[in-house]
Structure 1
Amino acid sequence: MAGASGRGDPLALEEPPLPRPSQPESRLGDQDRLAQIHLKILRGHCDTVSSCHFCFEDTKILSCSYDRTIKLWDVEKGVPVQVFEEEHTAPISECSLTPDNKRVITSSYDKTVKAWDMETGKMLWTVDQEGLVTSCNISCDGKYVVSGLDMENAICVTDALNATTVAYVQDHHRSTITRCCFDPDNERVSSVSSDKTIKLWDIIAQSTTITVNEAHTNVISDCCFTIDGHYLCTASWDKTLKIWDIKTGEFRYHGPICLNQGHEGSVSSCVFSKDASLVVSGAYDKTIALWDAGAGYKKLALKGHGDWVMDVAISNNKKWILSSSKDATLRLWNIEKADHVPAAIESRNTRGTKIVQCEECEKPFSLLQCDDSEAVTKCVFCRLASPSRNILPLPPL
């Protein structure tokens, strides 16, 4: 794993595919007759698309690629409207943007982290590192940037305004850091690694406050927080995702919620919807999975990419899923009516689920109907937050 990111191999010697037209294609995704999910294919990069995000209230998409460019796309037209290029000299591993959409942060295997002005496309600053930079993330208040390095398995926190180093944590993990990100309160950095551990590092105390050893049985490739910072989701090469109650630490007593039977290959990426009702994951089996977080089962599988899925995102209104792939494309999947397509209905019926309202947070959630289970009136997140909760049964396989 030395010198490699969990989202792809920077040392691969493959020749990149030839550039393709930028005009989007529209079609039905997943050849499965039950899927019926409409999608747009966005072409414009000429190599692996490593990272993708929605921005500008879901009207734009930001992506970066091993072709050393960053592109801003128009969602409706499906074409690039701005390109950031000619600065990175090696594949770009990740891009991150401020909540106000004014600045973009990129990390690269050229051993640099760069900041860009979104409006002008000009580079604002560069921070040189000793090793490959496998991940980057900017805090929600826009003050700090954290990056993960393969050299010394370190994380580096940088002042986003003047590019000075705030903290450098050497040997933070025992192996390559695959992903790092700030929690929504801008107080802690979560990092995951090929050493199978999760760490939370406190930016004020400048110390590690939580360590989960052997969190998965293989490389942990990605992590993401719910918008309130209560839960952390991790994705792994062991083909599973896990949801951890970080706020109360309940996982120490009852373990995490495990999302399995969703992918046939290593899981590369994960993201929560804004309301935390959905989890979206991408994998090296070329598929995207849409999970019901409340009941802990896979609602739908999206197929169509020609190679690894590197990253996923979901729009704030939960209408679109975005995926980026080693096949050099991005895909926009319209899931607005996903609950009503035959595949999702069949999935619910197979597992015996119904939609109920949580008595605590009042949000709707899917409930597994088991004849021998007690009446459940709270969603999985409210049950996780309850100190007296029972151990939740896993969905039937």
Structure 2
Amino acid sequence: MPLPCPQEEAPAPLPDNPLALEPPSRGDGLVEESERGRQRLTQIPYQVYLGHTSQVSCCNFCFGDTRFITSSFDESVILWDVATGSQVCDYRLHSAPVTQCCLSPDNQRLFTSSWDKSLKAWDVETGKVLWAVVHHRPLTCCDISFDGRHVVCGSDINNAIYIRASDSGSPIASLQEQHGSMVTRCRFSPDGQRVASTSCDRTARIWDMLTHRTTMTLQRHGNVVSDCCFTQQGNTLCTSSWDRTLLIWDVSVGQFRSQGPLKLAGGHRGCVSSCTFSRDANLIVAGSYDHSVSIWDTAGLYMKLVLKDHNDWVTDVDISADNASVLSACKDSTVLLWNIERLDQIPAVQSQRKLGGENVVQCADCRKPFSICLEDSSLPTCCPFCRLSATGPDLSQLPGV
């Protein structure tokens, strides 16, 4: 859920944008490429989608990346066609801002959470409401499990998350006071056995569906934790925060308890609002209140580039399965679709790897390529994810740090 930026974290005024978002709805976006102490601008294509009349709270690719769906504070949800830019469906049956939307894996049911306190399930084709549940407090977020069986939503004042059967809305679990402050985001793990939630209390927590208890409390951020996302394997969680950082946590054996999470910092000068892993976990995409979208290399743990052509806060992001496109939702009611298919061919991205003395090697465990720094005295043989999940004592039963 988009949240007001705290006064002490308010980003500094940005210079006038030389490429204003005006018709036609296609253009060249500014890309700020980090190059060892100096910045360089280049241009990549993007498309602007106009249809909402208030800030866009959520954006997700769907239907095999041929479409995407957005929710907005204008009380609507829109399903878009990527190729034509047209609106396929416009769902409007909420009476307050829609904070998040998500589609079932079969793309047949839509789930929405709203400040009107309701969680609703819709038929995507007909636009009819299949069921609706009204809670005691406004809802801030929702998510559907990867098998489509369960839906989870989070609320504000009672700091709770609710898990329900996706086919009927019947309650499965009600976690009152899961956090010490408002829940900002909730996510199912890929296996559907865990739910991660983030909060204004500066923590992320993981709740186990089998044992019905919180098994991990992650508290290394210095401000509101705004978002979280799992890798497809479910062993790693990324969290974003108003402290302007991203943290990567091993949630399989919990080695962060002794070694700490991996930290990605310096990419934004405003609060980080959202984050998502690419399907292959090679990239992390993050959105920020500084009007920009950052793309990070997870193997080398460095920022590849920053996309800069929004005119207001970036509230949510997503990346296509083939890593060729990035979606970014904005407070100014627009959605941008960036074409990053030639990301690794951008000169500054290539030169950054060379200047950093980086090389690409094959992981000894998972056999995937990853980046290393040749200046490192002890060159690793495994990628960061395999190192995070390295064999060690089972710490999942220990109390949260």
Q: Contact conserved, 2:276 with 2:319, CA < 8 A, in 1?
A: yes
String of CA shifts for 1:306-339, please: whole Å, max 9, x gaps.
Answer: 1000000000011001110101111111111111
The 3 A distance-change label for structure 1 pair 179 and 34 is same
Gaps in structure 1 of 5+ consecutive residues: 11-20, 389-397
Q: Contact conserved, 1:90 with 1:109, CA < 8 A, in 2?
A: yes
Check if 1:139 corresponds to 2:145: yes
Give distance in 2, aligned partners of 1:351 and 1:264. 23
Question: What is the CA distance between 1:351 and its match in structure 2?
Answer: 2.8
Give distance in 1, aligned partners of 2:377 and 2:326. 33
Question: What is the CA distance between 1:375 and its match in structure 2?
Answer: 2.3
- The aligned counterpart of 1:222 is 227
Question: What is the CA distance between 1:252 and its match in structure 2?
Answer: 0.8
Q: Contact conserved, 2:157 with 2:181, CA < 8 A, in 1?
A: no
- The aligned counterpart of 1:394 is none
- The aligned counterpart of 1:210 is 216
Question: What is the CA distance between 1:23 and its match in structure 2?
Answer: 7.9
**Larger displacement relative to structure 2 (145-154 or 30-39):** 30-39
- The aligned counterpart of 2:379 is 375
Give distance in 2, aligned partners of 1:96 and 1:149. 16
Check if 1:97 corresponds to 2:96: no
Give distance in 1, aligned partners of 2:210 and 2:82. 38
Check if 1:281 corresponds to 2:286: yes
Q: Contact conserved, 2:31 with 2:305, CA < 8 A, in 1?
A: no
Give distance in 2, aligned partners of 1:22 and 1:170. 46
Check if 1:260 corresponds to 2:255: no
- The aligned counterpart of 2:359 is 354
- The aligned counterpart of 1:327 is 332
Question: What is the CA distance between 1:354 and its match in structure 2?
Answer: 2.4
- The aligned counterpart of 1:65 is 72
The amino acid that maps onto 1:308 is W
Q: Contact conserved, 1:235 with 1:270, CA < 8 A, in 2?
A: yes
Give distance in 2, aligned partners of 1:366 and 1:260. 18
Any residues of structure 2 matched to 1:111-122 within 5 Å, and which? 111-122=117-128
- The aligned counterpart of 1:28 is 28
**Larger displacement relative to structure 2 (116-125 or 306-315):** 116-125
Which structure would you say has the larger RCO, counting Cα contacts within 8 Å and 6 or more residues apart? 2
The amino acid that maps onto 2:61 is F
TM-score by length of 1: 0.90
Q: Match of 2:310, SS?
A: coil
The amino acid that maps onto 1:219 is V
Q: Contact conserved, 1:23 with 1:43, CA < 8 A, in 2?
A: no
Any residues of structure 2 matched to 1:97-246 within 5 Å, and which? 97-212=103-218, 214-246=219-251
**Larger displacement relative to structure 2 (269-278 or 154-163):** 154-163
Question: What is the CA distance between 1:118 and its match in structure 2?
Answer: 1.0
Question: What is the CA distance between 1:9 and its match in structure 2?
Answer: 4.4
Question: What is the CA distance between 1:160 and its match in structure 2?
Answer: 1.1
String of CA shifts for 1:276-297, please: whole Å, max 9, x gaps.
Answer: 0100000000100000001111
Give distance in 1, aligned partners of 2:26 and 2:359. 33
The 3 A distance-change label for structure 1 pair 148 and 22 is farther
The 3 A distance-change label for structure 1 pair 135 and 275 is same
The 3 A distance-change label for structure 1 pair 137 and 24 is farther
Q: Match of 1:218, SS?
A: coil
The amino acid that maps onto 2:3 is G
The amino acid that maps onto 1:88 is H
Q: Contact conserved, 1:49 with 1:65, CA < 8 A, in 2?
A: yes
Gaps in structure 2 of 5+ consecutive residues: 6-20, 33-39, 393-401
Aligned length in residues:
370
Q: Contact conserved, 1:24 with 1:42, CA < 8 A, in 2?
A: no
The amino acid that maps onto 2:278 is S
Question: What is the CA distance between 1:253 and its match in structure 2?
Answer: 1.2
Give distance in 1, aligned partners of 2:23 and 2:232. 34
Give distance in 1, aligned partners of 2:291 and 2:330. 8
Q: Contact conserved, 1:23 with 1:79, CA < 8 A, in 2?
A: no
- The aligned counterpart of 1:45 is 52
The 3 A distance-change label for structure 1 pair 179 and 169 is same
Give distance in 1, aligned partners of 2:54 and 2:206. 33
Give distance in 1, aligned partners of 2:23 and 2:279. 29
Q: Contact conserved, 2:363 with 2:370, CA < 8 A, in 1?
A: yes
The amino acid that maps onto 1:39 is Y
Instruction: Please provide the CA RMSD for this pair.
Output: 1.8
Give distance in 2, aligned partners of 1:51 and 1:325. 9
Give distance in 2, aligned partners of 1:201 and 1:337. 39
Q: Contact conserved, 1:94 with 1:135, CA < 8 A, in 2?
A: yes
The 3 A distance-change label for structure 1 pair 31 and 317 is closer
Q: Contact conserved, 1:268 with 1:309, CA < 8 A, in 2?
A: yes
The 3 A distance-change label for structure 1 pair 233 and 45 is same
Question: What is the CA distance between 1:24 and its match in structure 2?
Answer: 6.6
Give distance in 2, aligned partners of 1:347 and 1:282. 22
The 3 A distance-change label for structure 1 pair 71 and 23 is farther
Q: Match of 2:258, SS?
A: helix
Q: Match of 1:88, SS?
A: coil
Question: What is the CA distance between 1:41 and its match in structure 2?
Answer: 0.8
Q: Contact conserved, 1:22 with 1:43, CA < 8 A, in 2?
A: no
**Larger displacement relative to structure 2 (287-296 or 26-35):** 26-35
Question: What is the CA distance between 1:31 and its match in structure 2?
Answer: 6.5
The 3 A distance-change label for structure 1 pair 198 and 110 is same
Q: Match of 1:312, SS?
A: strand
Give distance in 2, aligned partners of 1:353 and 1:141. 39
**Larger displacement relative to structure 2 (44-53 or 360-369):** 360-369
Q: Contact conserved, 1:62 with 1:72, CA < 8 A, in 2?
A: yes
The amino acid that maps onto 2:82 is V
Question: What is the CA distance between 1:205 and its match in structure 2?
Answer: 1.8
